[in-house]
A and B are shown apart, each in its own frame.
Chain A
Amino acid sequence: SQTIHQWPATLVQPVGSPLSLECTVEGTSNPNLYWYRQAAGRGLQLLFYSVGIGQISSEVPQNLSASRPQDRQFILSSKKLLLSDSGFYLCASRTGAANVKLFFGSGTQLSVL
């Protein structure tokens, strides 16, 4: 099965600072990759998904961006963080058209102060 690595586990950043969260996948190739955010008291919101290197789809307009420089690497970035960017960020992976199950990383708790 797939293993999703996310780091860091926790991050405290000042408003206006840049952000880079990294996600790497082991145990599969050509995965569909996803970034979700879980805001306090709310459900999971899909931010970005990617079906291949350099292919990014954005689900909601926001202050964040995503990139996929390698097949099993997915990066979430921001040039200037906002307070509203605080939340729990989860990377997820799915492989194969018939495989509907998502594998999740352990998440990054981001606090913007």
Chain B
Amino acid sequence: AQSVAQPEDQVNVAEGNPLTVKCTYSVSGNPYLFWYVQYPNRGLQFLLKYITGDNLVKGSYGFEAEFNKSQTSFHLKKPSALVSDSALYFCAVRSGNNRLAFGKGNQVVVIP
């Protein structure tokens, strides 16, 4: 069964600094990889996905993620963090079935 690991509970970053949220996955077969963001008291919003093709995927709000097959990673990145990026970020993986496995989430805190 597929699984996702997000090793850090919380990521603190100063506004304007680069932001990285780590994600590694385990799946049999080709992975479909996703990042979702959850703002306070709201549902999840889709940020970006990797299905096939270019390993660097660009998504909403200036975020991007790099698929690394050898390291089984899909880290989320943003070159310059904003205070409004403070939220809970979830990595997810799906492989060939209807189930989407989520990581436990990372709380990102952007400090002004």
Q: Which residues of A contact B (CB under 8 A)?
A: 4, 6, 32, 34, 36, 38, 41-46, 49, 51, 59, 90, 92, 94, 100-107, 109
Considering only CB atoms, which chain B residue lies closest to A36 in the complex? B102
**Contacts between chains A and B (CB distance < 8 A), count:** 58
Of B42-50, B61-69, B71-79, the one contacting chain A is B42-50
Per DSSP, are chain A's interface residues mostly helix, strand or loop, or mixed? Answer: strand
Beta-carbon contact of A43 and B46 below 8 Å: no
Beta-carbon contact of B44 and A90 below 8 Å: yes
Q: Beyond A43-B103, A104-B44, is A49–B98 a contact (Cβ under 8 Å)?
A: yes
Chain B: interface residue total (CB-CB under 8 A): 24
Beta-carbon contact of B100 and A102 below 8 Å: yes
Considering only CB atoms, which chain A residue lies closest to B104 in the complex? A43
A1, chain B: closest CB distance, angstroms: 10
Other-chain residue from A34, A59, A92, A106 in contact with B42 (beta carbon distance below 8 A): A106
Q: Which of B21-76 contact A (CB under 8 A)?
A: 32, 34, 36, 41-46, 49, 51
Beta-carbon contact of B43 and A102 below 8 Å: no
Q: Which residues of B contact A (CB under 8 A)?
A: 4, 6, 32, 34, 36, 41-46, 49, 51, 90, 92, 94, 98-105
Beta-carbon contact of A107 and B43 below 8 Å: yes
Considering only CB atoms, which chain B residue lies closest to A43 in the complex? B104
B25, chain A: closest CB distance, angstroms: 13
Q: Which residues in B have their C-beta under 8 angstroms from that of A41?
A: 104
